[in-house]
Structure 1
Amino acid sequence: MFVVLYACLINAPLTCREERINVSMDVAAPTACMMSSQFTVAQWSEEHPQWQVGRWKCVPANRLSRDT
């Protein structure tokens, strides 16, 4: 399971990026992922203070785009 978050630079709000954070979680537990992802997103935000997280979601690994 991955937490996919979308963040934009605080000083340049039109500069945004997608981050994929691999979390060890059963694919059958998306609700558990959403609850525990709050900590993951908060930790990422703390480590990247120049970025502001706009939204995030949990995505099973097999549903991620293979493009990136």
Structure 2
Amino acid sequence: MLILLSACLLSQPTQCHDDQIPMSYQGTNPFICLRHAQSVLAEWQAAHPELHVAKWRCAVRGTVPRDL
């Protein structure tokens, strides 16, 4: 599973980019992704203090769409 996210600069909120966070397991159960996503996103946010996560969702690896 992957977490797809759109992150925006705190100093320029209209300047955003898409990113992916790979999850540590290979399953395809979206409920497991949703259960663990909050802590994974919090860790990512702590590592990127200049950015704000505007939106996110879980996706199965290999089926990642082009848009969030």
Which TM-score bucket, shorter chain as reference?
0.7 to 0.9
- Aligned-residue offset at 1:14: 1.1
**Structure 1 segments unaligned to the other structure (5+ residues):** none
TM-score (norm 2): 0.87
CA distance in 2, matches of 1:24, 1:13: 30
Once the two structures are superposed, residues 18-64 of structure 1 have per-residue CA deviations (whole angstroms, 9 ceiling, x without a partner) of: 1101112311x101101101011000100100100111111001211
Bigger helix fraction: 1
Percent identity for Structure 1 against Structure 2: 31
For the aligned residue pairs, the C-alpha RMSD in angstroms reads 1.3
Partner of 2:40: 40
User: Aligned letter for 1:6?
Assistant: S
- Mapped to 1, the partners of 2:58 and 2:45 lie a distance apart of 17
- Where structure 2 has 5 or more consecutive residues not aligned to the other structure, the ranges are none
1:12 alignment counterpart? 12
Counterparts of 1:46 and 1:24, CA distance in 2: 18
